[in-house]
Structure 1
Amino acid sequence: MKSQTFNAATTWFSADAHFGHRGILKMSGRPWDDIARHDEDLIHAWNSRVRPNHDVFFLGDFAMNSSAERCQQVFARLNGKKHLIIGNHDGPRHIGLPWASEPADLRTVHVDGTRIVLCHYALRMWNGSWRGAIHLYGHSHGTLPGTSRSCDVGLDCWGYRPVGLAEIRERLAATPEQPEEQRPEDDGQ
């Protein structure tokens, strides 16, 4: 798929909602004791930022232990044009939702001139990593620290809400560069 260009003011990123998954409350230490309240609060937090004409890149694990009907109900209540980067818990009932673009395992987009490589899983290297491209991921629920060029956009890392590029850039700027991010010197050979 060819990379598309999006506007930072209307583009959001998120991952790992796990709608309907009671086990995520304890597993990730989420501050709810009721999965119905969890789901309602996540929907409210999403819609408090995302407008119907905005784009949201959801980097996997939309729901778990939810029927196809429940997935459809939650999906329909979430604002925005939603794009799925497939996670390990995304099966046919999630992939078959009416996403704004074809679900993919890996995708590159441009947001206000920034090349962004999207994957559910954290990558050590990605296309363009030494040419300014950043990488966004989920899956780790905040247990895998980001780097100066990669960031976990999962709900557990961002107050249980989608995050925009400006906030991501701030976090990247405050994170030390890792050895693998340092470009090898060109010795002219």
Structure 2
Amino acid sequence: MFYHRKWWLWLLFILGIGMLILRYGYRLAVVILSATFKLFQLDMAKYDLINYRLQYISNNGYELLLIILLLTITILVSWLALNLISGQFQRDIYSDRFTRSLIRYIPTENTKLVSSEEKRANWWIRKGRIIKKHGKLVLRIPCGNNAAIVEIIRKRCDGYANQWLAQNYPNSNWGPLEIKHGLFITWLYVKEK
């Protein structure tokens, strides 16, 4: 859950803004329409019809977004409970700390090619995560399929990853850094022995 926090926070933000627009935007639209109809002396029967339709859309849209928001919150609370019970929430926090420690600042005076590869390596490192697979902890970092980026990430992780994992998971024994090539992506793995 913590790993995907940007997505669900963005979803909650959009739902909240949508609810505010439907609730208070309708009132603003009614005030503007009323003033417009009175100013231009238009038929108030049309105003009543437009007002009724706007109110209908506002109320139904607000109720729909409220239902979606409540379902989303229910799913998020269930997801949080499951992550807390399984320990994935704590592993995601550790993953975030680990990936932040591997991110490198790229000065602008570097050549453009090296700078773009370093930035892409930082982007892939942010996707790194500690998970539990077959009862064992695994640090996995995707690297894309560019050999230069794989080498940059491997150099950053070499030695440091095992030391960091041993310090933060003292009861675990960690294997060496492995590179696994998939169909479209290359992964760096450090597995618990």
State the TM-score, normalizing by the size of structure 1. 0.26
> Which of the pair has the greater relative contact order for Cα pairs under 8 Å at 6+ separation?
1
Could you say which structure has the larger radius of gyration? 2
Q: TM-score by structure 2 length?
A: 0.26
Higher helix share: 2
